[in-house]
Amino acid sequence: MTATTDGSTGAVDPGAAAASMTITAVTDPVPDAREAARGAMGRAVEHLLALQDVQGWWKGDLETNVTMDAEDLLLRQFLGVQDEKTVRAAALFVRGEQRADGTWATFHGGPGDLSATVEAYVALRLAGDLPEDPHMRRAATWVRARGGIAATRVFTRIWLALFGWWKWDDLPELPPELLFLPTWVPLNIYDFGCWARQTIVPLTVVSAKRPVRPAPFALDELHIDPRRPSPPTRLAPPTGWDGIFQRLDKALHVYRRFAPPALRRAAMRSAARWIVERQENDGCWGGIQPPAVYSLIALHLLGYDLQHPVMRAGLESLDRFAVWREDGARMIEACQSPVWDTCLATIALADAGLPADHPALVKAADWMLAEEVVRPGDWAVRRPDLPPGGWAFEFHNDNYPDIDDTAEVILALRRVAHPDRERTEGAIARGVRWNLGMQSKNGAWGAFDADNTSPFPNRLPFCDFGEVIDPPSADVTAHVVEMLAVEGKAHHPRTRRGITWLLAEQEECGAWFGRWGVNYVYGTGSAVPALTAAGLPGSHPAIRRAVAWLESVQNDDGGWGEDLRSYKDKSWAGRGASTPSQTAWALLALIAAGECDSKATERGVAWLVETQLPDGSWDEPYFTGTGFPWDFSINYHLYRQVFPLTALGRYINGEPVFPAARP
């Protein structure tokens, strides 16, 4: 069978593509079901090739929730840079996400979220919607019934404090002197995960300055009692950690009044320097929207005017997070995922049988090679002697390369016959060395840092917005183990420690927890292929338990799905509406376990075939990606394409082929 691009993106020359795009597949007579799967695979290849950018990368929309859009409008209001077109387009998107009960959720089909609803409500007020409008009245009624503004998370109340809608005295204290704590002291800035660290440093400045811009309206309708908006907080017993940290916060409020001015000024200067040094080449911070927003506010409070090059580049970078839709609505991405999407797309196309020297794959490899991170970042605080290497998640994020992305990029590069073998081998060698060096003490791997496991940051009253540390996880560890096995290091001592840790982390039911994807289906779909790649036979007890669990949670329609509620309630593990990405993850585990011809696999493949759209894509409104388990969920729009294609490719063509692998 031959599949070709339509040439619509200019990604590769259509003629060259047509000449070199024969899909390698089994040619023996196969049942109709396998032929149907082969046809679906071919359509998916065509669709994915048509999405490639002319520079060689792929990037799907990264959809989160309306707090990104609300906070973007609040930032523009705070800085005085709002414009009518942006406000109107953002409001159109926010209104479109409101549910019938007046609330906003943080993921598709999820429950109404109080903080998201309050922030969305305020954004619409800024856009001109009135409290008496029916949709606003429904939202306000729901908010009051859940405790009002006083019950929202700290970050929401910080945004409200910027405009005088909340008192700074009623927020946790976050002193900039935190930056002076040495790395061996608990609660030093490097005890926090990189995403939290980049957010907390600028917020120490905001907390110290306590700015208030005149509010354009009151928010009395969002309080249970506007005369008493902030009820007193009950202290927890002093013998528990919560009580200890509550009293620590009270002590910091006292310290604020007596902080030595010279020390405070020095801390603010250090914070400004820390922030500016970490601005990326594209003007953003860490390639994610929240740190960029707070960094801009902090620097502005420290005297950086809007025309300063740092501020100007930062504001311009935020515009690149905007996705303009055909109806005129404007959605803000919390982050962008081109490196992650490109390596996954490369793996999917190669596993579907695209020739290893196909122009699209070579161009993708070229782009990934150019994205290699070759300088130290914050990770070097704990690994000062480790040479740099690896890849980040975003277009620009050299301070925070990603262990997971590095493993998957190496797996993608090994599938491509790149003409510059020396360049490829050098980049892979550096990435392997860096990943090995980033192993944590327990034998596993986190996403960005090694041994980022302090129990204290999550205890701070300030940190109620989701996960603030980066401990090792089964999915990241599995991807590193799989990569090391492909690199011929299955018996390396570090790989064996990773395998031992993975086996110990298997849940009693047979699944693995998924930190960065939802949830046990993702963890299991990552762990089983890694363990079998490292040499565990399909008959191994851990593999058999995983297969049995996957078979037990398969939906009646043949697919797999898992609701985000499984992060809070294990009874939801493996339960949810079938989705293309989660069905593919289950299939990848079953196929790796040697279950290619099992009834469960056949039913899962049939579900993918039956739900494929005519253009070769799949529809997936459900959120199957994770930023913070439960607290911050992601719908990666390319997941619905790359993972089903990978699963179909391995079902038709067998195990992955690595033409560029070392002997």
Residue 267 exposed, middle or buried by CB count within 10 Å (0-12, 13-18, 19+): buried
pLDDT digits (tens, 9 = 90+) for 40-56: 999 999 999 999 999 99
Sign of the Cα torsion 610, 613, 616, 622 reads negative
Q: Would you kindly state where each structural domain of the chain is located, as residue ranges?
A: 14-60+337-455+470-653, 63-229+243-332
Ramachandran angles phi, psi of 635, nearest 5°: -110, 100
Angle separating helix axes 599-611 and 580-592, nearest 10 degrees: 150
**Neighbour tally for 384: CB within 10 Å:** 8
Q: What percent of the chain has pLDDT over 90?
A: 85
| Beta-ladder partners of 626 | 633
Question: Nearest 5°: phi and psi at 104?
Answer: -125, 135
- Residues 114-150 pLDDT 10s: 999 999 999 999 999 999 999 999 999 999 999 999 9
The model's pLDDT over 586-615, given as tens digits with 9 standing for 90+, comes to 999 999 999 999 999 999 999 999 999 999
CA 570 to chain centre: 22
Residue with tokens 């409001």: 91
Contact (CB, 8 A) for 493 and 434 = no
Q: Are 395 and 282 in contact (CB under 8 A)?
A: yes
- Is residue 475 part of the annotated active site? The answer reads no
Answer yes or no: are the C-beta atoms of 621 and 560 closer than 8 Å. no
Which tens digits make up the pLDDT trace of 540-557? 999 999 999 999 999 999
Measured CA distances, 603 to 37, 518, 654 (Å):
11, 21, 17
> Residue 250 is which amino acid?
K
Specify the DSSP element, H or E, that contains 88. helix 84-97
How far, in Å, CA of 471 to CA of 505, rounded?
13
Q: Mean of the per-residue pLDDT values for the chain?
A: 92
Q: Environment class of residue 62 by beta-carbon count within 10 Å: exposed (0-12), middle (13-18) or buried (19+)?
A: buried
**In terms of DSSP H, where are the helices of 4-50?**
14-20, 32-50
* pLDDT tens by residue, 175-186: 999 999 999 999
Question: In this model, does residue 1 exceed pLDDT 60?
Answer: no
Q: Could you give the strand order of the β-sheet that contains 625-628, starting from the edge strand earlier in sequence?
A: 62-63, 632-636, 625-628
Q: How far apart are the first and last CA of the chain?
A: 30
What was the pLDDT predicted at 662? 56
**pLDDT for res 457:** 87
Determine the 3-state secondary structure of 524 from DSSP.
helix
CATH topology of domain 63-229+243-332: Glycosyltransferase (1.50.10)
3-state secondary structure 140-200: HHHHHHCCCHHHCCHHHHHHHHCCCCCCHHHCCCCCHHHHHCCCCCCCCHHHCCHHHHHHH
| Residue type present at position 86 | T
* Cβ pair 460, 244 in contact under 8 A: no
Place of tokens 């799907």: 60
Predicted model pTM? 0.92
Burial of 504 from C-beta contacts in 10 A (0-12 / 13-18 / 19+): exposed
Is residue 89's pLDDT more than 90?
Answer: yes
Same fold, 14-60+337-455+470-653 and 63-229+243-332: yes
What does the alpha-carbon distance between residue 103 and residue 114 come to, in Å, rounded to a whole number?
A: 8
> Domain 14-60+337-455+470-653, what fold?
Glycosyltransferase (1.50.10)
The span from the CA of 113 to the CA of 134, in Å, is: 19
Q: Where are the alpha helices (DSSP H) in 220-284?
A: 241-258, 261-277
Q: Over the stretch 295-330, which tens digit does the pLDDT of each residue have?
A: 999 999 999 999 999 999 999 999 999 999 999 999
- The three-state secondary structure class of 23 is coil
Instruction: With a cut of 90, say whether residue 26 has pLDDT above it.
Output: no
In the prediction, which pLDDT does 661 show? 65
351, 366, 404, 405: the catalytic one is 404
